[in-house]
A = this chain, B = another copy of it.
Amino acid sequence: MFTRASRFAPVLALAGSAAVLVAASPEPIDHAINARIRAEARDRSQIMQTLHVLTDVYGPRLTGSPNHKAAAEWAVTEMKKWGFDNGSLEEWDFGHPGWLNERLSAHVVSPVKDALVGEALAWTNGTDGPVRAAATQLILPERPTADELKTYLDGKAAAVAGKVVLVGAGKPVPVNFSKAPLRRDYDDLTAMLDPVNPRAPQFGPGGPAGRQAPVVEPGRLTPRQINEQVDAFLVANKVRVRINDGGRDHGQIRAFNNPSFDGATAPPTMILRNEDFGRIARLLADGRPVELDVDIVNRWYPEGRTSYNAVAEIAGSDKASEVIMLGGHLDSWHAATGATDNAIGVAVMMEAARIVKTLGLKPRRTIRVALWGGEEQGLLGSKAYVAKHFGTAEAPTAEFATFGGYLNVDSGTGRIRGASVFGPPEAGRILREIFAPFEDLGIVGATVTKSRSTGGTDSTSFNAAGLPGIGLMQDPIEYQSYTWHTNLDTYERIVEDDVKKSAAMIASALYHLAMRDDLLPRFTGTEMPAPAPAARPSTPTPTAPAPTAPAATPTRQ
């Protein structure tokens, strides 16, 4: 329907004339400022240096770990160097110790000799020095009741005692003949963001469709209950190491955490790449004895019970008491250095704010960068921040009224292609008009959401409180297919051109939101949707996809 050459124009015309939308004056856009923002983002970018430090020097940045805290301190120091004010770490209670893997080596030593590729499961103990032991495998009954599982495990006690135990059958991962696209399709995105008749977002693998809690028949155990019971059984039988299957192709490993965050509840545990798990499982299935060497060194940090959000500001002028926020989560999983999840979100936001500061743009409202901890454990840092600073629509603090929006990036290296804001249609119109001058960089529009459910990333902590969280939709590139939570999430997977362009677009949005006469329109009074009934479970089980997966459109469930 719309041509690529002028994709925004018809939308704006429609927005001004369609009965369902509030008629409004066009949003004032400062094209001269936008040109300066583009030049700074392109010619004097700091973003790759920021990304290098966040990933290579401080990665992985697991919540509660000294790496995470050091990264937060570095980010604040860096922003202060750039001239930001009020840089600080704001404490929040994580309640679990910090944990880091320091070493992991694993080898099959008989009947073949090979180095294995694996990752430690977070918040489990390491081995007490190098372990050499026979391997065995537990192929659990499917969807068992508690009694069925107990009967099965009781029968395996002698078989597992003192051994290295592969848990699960191992997953065949066929060649993928339907590779995920690297860029969003323009027509699809346009339809999704159509302000008059938006189409429901299409989610790829790992998106919300894959995140539904499995339906468990009455009397049957949930996957988490099964996992707890298996871990207790393995600990009771002095199993030396538990091994889970990576279950993904091309050696990818997604390593999550021991749900209890307590080393005593699980044996030392590692996730082995599917290829190595499969080889051992097939050798065992032949009846061949298999012997493994495993050496895992993990370290616990009691001080990790206190975690941090890193914040810094660019002071506003005549509307300094009003705040535009932007950020992303600084914490990461531990299988790699957390480049696309989410050093990029952090670096894009730091860079966007740096551009505004370094160009001397003097925003009317205060701009505040916030870099969260605990996102991967359930948006913990941003939830704590919102609760403390803003409360909720139903129980607001004084800051609630003067909040002008929170921009969030958390979907990998792909450039931003659209936005979703919690608020009335007028909020969507304003964002569309602010982003319109960047259609040449690929951004298509903005949509609105009324959902107060928390979802895959920190913007939904704001939505849940009734505040305008703004989630950015991005090109998928290799996010769900390769980098999200995997051992491949490194600096190498950053597309420099994309992250620079994202920073330019965010800088402009930030500036224009900070300069307009009024705050971004919000739901008020009876328009405010009811709070979501209950939060979903926030901790992934080690063998299942993480329920905190960032969605393709982060502010929708």
- Residues of A whose CB lies within 8 Å of any CB of B are 52, 55-57, 59, 100-105, 107, 111-113, 115, 117, 172-175, 177, 179, 182, 249-252, 274-275, 278-279, 282-283, 286, 288, 295, 336-337, 413, 477-478, 482, 487-488, 490-493, 495
* Residue with the highest number of chain B CB atoms closer than 10 Å, among A173, A174, A251: A251
Q: How far is the CA of A117 from the CA of B113 in the complex (A)?
A: 16
Q: A294: shortest Cβ distance to chain B, in Å?
A: 11
A interface SS class: loop
Q: A479: shortest Cβ distance to chain B, in Å?
A: 11
Whether B251 pairs with A488 at a CB distance below 8 angstroms is yes
Whether A491 pairs with B175 at a CB distance below 8 angstroms is no
Whether A275 pairs with B495 at a CB distance below 8 angstroms is no
**For A101, what are the chain B residues with a Cβ–Cβ distance below 8 Å?**
113, 115
Whether B103 pairs with A279 at a CB distance below 8 angstroms is no
Q: How far is the CA of A274 from the CA of B490 in the complex (A)?
A: 10
Q: How far is the CA of A14 from the CA of B174 in the complex (A)?
A: 40
Q: A94: shortest Cβ distance to chain B, in Å?
A: 21
Whether A487 pairs with B251 at a CB distance below 8 angstroms is yes
Contact partner of A477 (CB less than 8 A), chosen from B175, B282, B477, is: B175
Subset of 17 A-B contacts with CB under 8 Å: A52-B282, A56-B279, A56-B283, A57-B111, A57-B112, A102-B113, A103-B113, A103-B115, A105-B115, A175-B493, A249-B492, A250-B251, A275-B336, A275-B491, A275-B492, A278-B492, A279-B337
**For A413, what are the chain B residues with a Cβ–Cβ distance below 8 Å?**
175
**For A491, what are the chain B residues with a Cβ–Cβ distance below 8 Å?**
275, 278-279, 282
Contact partner of A115 (CB less than 8 A), chosen from B104, B172, B175, B288, is: B104
**For A250, what are the chain B residues with a Cβ–Cβ distance below 8 Å?**
250-252, 482, 488
Question: In this complex, what residue of B is CB-closest to A67?
Answer: B112
Q: How far is the CA of A102 from the CA of B105 in the complex (A)?
A: 13
Q: A458: shortest Cβ distance to chain B, in Å?
A: 26
Question: In this complex, what residue of B is CB-closest to A478?
Answer: B175
Contact partner of A182 (CB less than 8 A), chosen from B175, B275, B286, B295, is: B175
Whether B492 pairs with A56 at a CB distance below 8 angstroms is no
Whether A174 pairs with B103 at a CB distance below 8 angstroms is no
**For A274, what are the chain B residues with a Cβ–Cβ distance below 8 Å?**
492
Whether B275 pairs with A490 at a CB distance below 8 angstroms is yes
**For A107, what are the chain B residues with a Cβ–Cβ distance below 8 Å?**
103, 105
Question: In this complex, what residue of B is CB-closest to A277?
Answer: B492
Contact partner of A278 (CB less than 8 A), chosen from B251, B477, B490, B495, is: B490
Q: What are the nearest 9 A-B pairs in CB distance?
A: A105-B105, A275-B490, A102-B113, A104-B115, A56-B279, A56-B282, A275-B492, A250-B250, A103-B107
**For A103, what are the chain B residues with a Cβ–Cβ distance below 8 Å?**
107, 113, 115
Knowing A275-B492, A478-B175 are in contact, say whether A57-B117 is a contact too (CB < 8 A). no
Knowing A111-B57, A112-B57, A115-B105 are in contact, say whether A495-B251 is a contact too (CB < 8 A). no
Question: In this complex, what residue of B is CB-closest to A281?
Answer: B56
Q: How far is the CA of A274 from the CA of B493 in the complex (A)?
A: 11
Whether A495 pairs with B175 at a CB distance below 8 angstroms is yes
* Residue with the highest number of chain B CB atoms closer than 10 Å, among A52, A105, A288, A493: A105
